[in-house]
A and B are shown apart, each in its own frame.
Chain A
Amino acid sequence: MKILALETSTETASVALLDGDRLLERSVAGRPGHSETILPEIRLLLAEAGVALDALDAIAFGAGPGAFTGLRLACGVAQGLAMGLGKPVIPVGTLAALASQCSHDAIFVAADARMSEVYFAAYRRVDGVLEECLAPSCAAPGAVALPAEGDWFGFGSAFKAYGEVLVPGLGARLAGHDATPVPLASSVARLAAWHFSRGEVVDAALAAPLYVRDKVALTTAERLASGGKA
C-alpha cells in the first residue's frame, strides 16, 4: 500500500509517503503560502523514494480545521492528483492527525483559529486507535470546556496563543499541555492508511475541506437587523 499525504493547514507545510512499513516526509516551515513548494516537494519526495506517481493507491490530505487557504490548497492538489491518476482521496482531520502525535492516551487538542478563537476536539487512544470523544468545534478560548469526565492532556498551538485564558478555563482535569506541535503529513498518512484499510476513501470530486467555522459573512438582512447598512 502506497499513500501520499499532504498537510498545509498551518505555516509548516509537509508531504509524506507511506509505502508499506516505510514512512518518508519532507517539510517546509515558515512560509505563509505553500503553492510554490507543495507540488515540487511531492516530486522530490517520490523521486527520493523511487516511487512513481501512478504507483500510489490513494492521496490523503489534512482536511481541517485550519487556515482556509491552506485547506483548499491541500484539497485542490489532492483532487487534481487523484483525478489525473484515477485514484481515490482520503480526507483526514487535522486535529485527529495532531492528536495522533501525542504520547498521552486522553488528548484534548486545541489549535489557534485566529480571530480570537480556537479549534478544539478530544480523542482517546483505545488499543492503539484514536477514538473521537468530542467532534472538532470552534469557540472563544474562554468558552471551551473539557469532556465531562476524566483527565486530559492539552495539545496544540492554542495553548500558546491563548494559554492564559485556556489553561485556567479548562480547570484541574487538564493534566498538562504542550503547545509546540503542529499537524504533520506523516500523521495524516498513518491515519489515512487506517481509513484505507477499512475502505474509507472518497471520490476526488467529493473530497472537501472541513472548515468547522462556517459563518464567514453576514447577509444583507443580518447587517440591517444589527443596525448596519445594506
Chain B
Amino acid sequence: MRVLGIETSCDETGVAVYDTDKGLLGHRLHSQIDLHAAYGGVVPELASRDHVRRLPLLLRETLALTGLSMRDVDAIAYTAGPGLAGALLVGSSVAEALGVALGIPTLPVHHLEGHLLSPLLSADPPAFPFVALLVSGGHTQLMRVSGVGDYALLGETVDDAAGEAFDKTAKLIGLPYPGGPVLAKLALEGTPGRFKLPRPMLHSKDFDFSFSGLKTAVLTTATAPGFAPEDRADLAAEFQAAAVEVLVAKAMAALRHCGLRQLVVAGGVGANLALRAALDAAAAKRKARVFYPELELCTDNGAMIAFAGAMRLMAGEQVEASDGRFAVRPRWSLQEITPPQAAA
C-alpha cells in the first residue's frame, strides 16, 4: 500500500510517499526560513501563502522522483494539527480534495505522532515500548510510547519550548534568525561555566520543564555592565549546557521511572549535537540506547506523516474513501490520540 504524506503545519512544506512493503520511496521538502528571516520570526499569513505556492509543485516532484502517478497512491495522510491554522488548512484542503478526486481514504495525522514515530523510519529502529523526548520550537514533552497511538504523557514544559528558548536566547544576544542553530554553533566556540545560569526544575522530581527563567537569566547577564560582544560565545555555551543538562536529566529519570532502556529523540532540537552527545553518554552509563531520526527527518517533513499514516493503516485502522469533511486542529493534544481503530 502506498501512502502519500503532506505536511504544512508551520514553515516547512513536505511531501513524501511511503510504501508499506518497500519503505520510504521518496520525499521532498521546502523550508521557508529565508522567507521569514527578514521578519525575525514566522509570519503565519506569509507561511500559508508560501504553502499554496509550493505544495502542488512538491507533489508533482515527489511523484516524478518515485516514478508514480496520482493513481498509484492508495491513501493520503496529512497533518491536521497542531500548528498554524492557516498553514494547516492548505495541506488539509489539497489532501482532502485529492482524496475525493481519487476516491481513496484520507488520514488526518497528529503532527507530534509523526515526529514520535519518525525514528522508526531509520535503518536501526527501536521497538515498542520506549520513552520519547520530543524537543522542537513548539514542544518539549516526555512520554511513554507503548505502541502506535498509545502515548502516555510523563511531563512537558510549563512555559517555553526548548527550541523556542534557543531561538529567543539567540535573539537576545543579537544572533540572526533562525537563532537556535546559530546559537548552538557559537556555543562550540565558548566555555560553559564562566557565566552561571540556572538549571530550571532540575530537581523538581517530576518530568516537567521550564525554560523561560533561563531566557530571563540570559537577558540579565547580557545586559549587565561590562558584557562585551566577545562574551557571547561563553554565554551561548553556558545556555546550551544548562538546557542540555535539564533535558538529559529528565529524560534519564523518565527511563528509570518507566523501567525502559530505549529513548527516542524527535523534533528539531534533536539535531543539536551537544544534546545528542550528552544523551548518548548518559544513556551508555545506564546501559540504555538513544534513537534519533535520520538528520534530514529531524525538522518537519512529509515522510514522517506518510509513515505515521502507513503505521496506522498497517495496525488495522479502519478507513473509508474520504467524504471530504475536514477540520484543521491548531491546538490538538496528543492525549486525544488513540490507538488505530480496527474494523469491528
Task: Let me know if A40 is at the binding interface, CB within 8 A.
Answer: yes
In terms of DSSP, what is the predominant structure of the interface of chain A?
helix
CB distance from B102 to the nearest CB of A (A): 5
In terms of DSSP, what is the predominant structure of the interface of chain B?
helix
CB distance from A214 to the nearest CB of B (A): 9
Nearest chain B residue, comparing its CB with the CB of A203: B56
Find out whether the CB atom of A68 lies under 8 angstroms from the CB atom of B45.
yes
Task: Let me know if B212 is at the binding interface, CB within 8 A.
Answer: no
Nearest chain A residue, comparing its CB with the CB of B324: A39
Find out whether the CB atom of A84 lies under 8 angstroms from the CB atom of B97.
yes
Q: A211-B49, A216-B45 are in contact. Are A80 and B90 (CB under 8 A)?
A: no
Find out whether the CB atom of B324 lies under 8 angstroms from the CB atom of A40.
yes
Task: Let me know if B339 is at the binding interface, CB within 8 A.
Answer: no
CB distance from A217 to the nearest CB of B (A): 4
- Which A residues between 1 and 59 are near B, CB-CB below 8 angstroms? 33, 35-40, 42-43, 53
Residue among B46, B98, B102 with most chain A CB within 10 A: B98
Residues of B within 8 A of A36 (CB): 325-327
Q: A39-B100, A204-B56 are in contact. Are A217 and B89 (CB under 8 A)?
A: no
Cα–Cα distance between A76 and B80 once the two chains are bound (Å): 14
Cα–Cα distance between A100 and B259 once the two chains are bound (Å): 70
Task: Let me know if A205 is at the binding interface, CB within 8 A.
Answer: yes
Cα–Cα distance between A80 and B59 once the two chains are bound (Å): 10
Question: How many of chain B's residues touch chain A, expressed as a range?
Answer: 35 or more
Nearest chain B residue, comparing its CB with the CB of A229: B40
Would you list 21 pairs from A and B whose C-beta atoms are within 8 A, ordered by A residue?
A35-B93, A68-B86, A69-B89, A72-B48, A73-B93, A76-B90, A76-B97, A77-B93, A77-B96, A77-B97, A79-B56, A80-B101, A83-B101, A84-B99, A84-B100, A205-B56, A205-B57, A208-B53, A216-B43, A230-B40, A230-B171
Find out whether the CB atom of A220 lies under 8 angstroms from the CB atom of B323.
no
CB distance from B9 to the nearest CB of A (A): 15
Nearest chain A residue, comparing its CB with the CB of B322: A39
| Contacting residue for A68 out of B48, B322, B325, CB 8 A | B48
CB distance from A161 to the nearest CB of B (A): 21
- Which B residues between 59 and 116 are near A, CB-CB below 8 angstroms? 59-60, 70, 85-86, 89-90, 92-102
Cα–Cα distance between A216 and B45 once the two chains are bound (Å): 7
Find out whether the CB atom of A35 lies under 8 angstroms from the CB atom of B101.
no
Question: How many of chain A's residues touch chain B, expressed as a range?
Answer: 35 or more
Interface residues, chain B, CB within 8 Å of chain A?
38-40, 43, 45-46, 48-49, 52-53, 55-57, 59-60, 70, 85-86, 89-90, 92-102, 171, 322-328
Task: Let me know if A107 is at the binding interface, CB within 8 A.
Answer: no
Task: Let me know if A167 is at the binding interface, CB within 8 A.
Answer: no
Residues of A within 8 A of B89 (CB): 35, 69, 72-73, 76
CB distance from A5 to the nearest CB of B (A): 14
Residues of B within 8 A of A77 (CB): 93-94, 96-97
| Contacting residue for A81 out of B38, B46, B97, CB 8 A | B97
Find out whether the CB atom of A85 lies under 8 angstroms from the CB atom of B93.
no
Task: Let me know if A225 is at the binding interface, CB within 8 A.
Answer: no
Given pairs A69-B86, A76-B89, A83-B70, 20 additional interface contacts (CB within 8 A): A35-B92, A39-B322, A43-B323, A43-B324, A68-B86, A72-B86, A72-B93, A76-B55, A77-B93, A78-B97, A80-B96, A80-B99, A80-B101, A81-B98, A81-B101, A84-B97, A85-B101, A205-B56, A216-B43, A219-B38
Find out whether the CB atom of A39 lies under 8 angstroms from the CB atom of B96.
yes
Residues of B within 8 A of A185 (CB): none
Residues of A within 8 A of B102 (CB): 84
Residues of B within 8 A of A219 (CB): 38-39
Cα–Cα distance between A68 and B46 once the two chains are bound (Å): 11
CB distance from B183 to the nearest CB of A (A): 16
CB distance from A14 to the nearest CB of B (A): 16
CB distance from A221 to the nearest CB of B (A): 7
Residues of A within 8 A of B94 (CB): 76-77, 79-80, 83
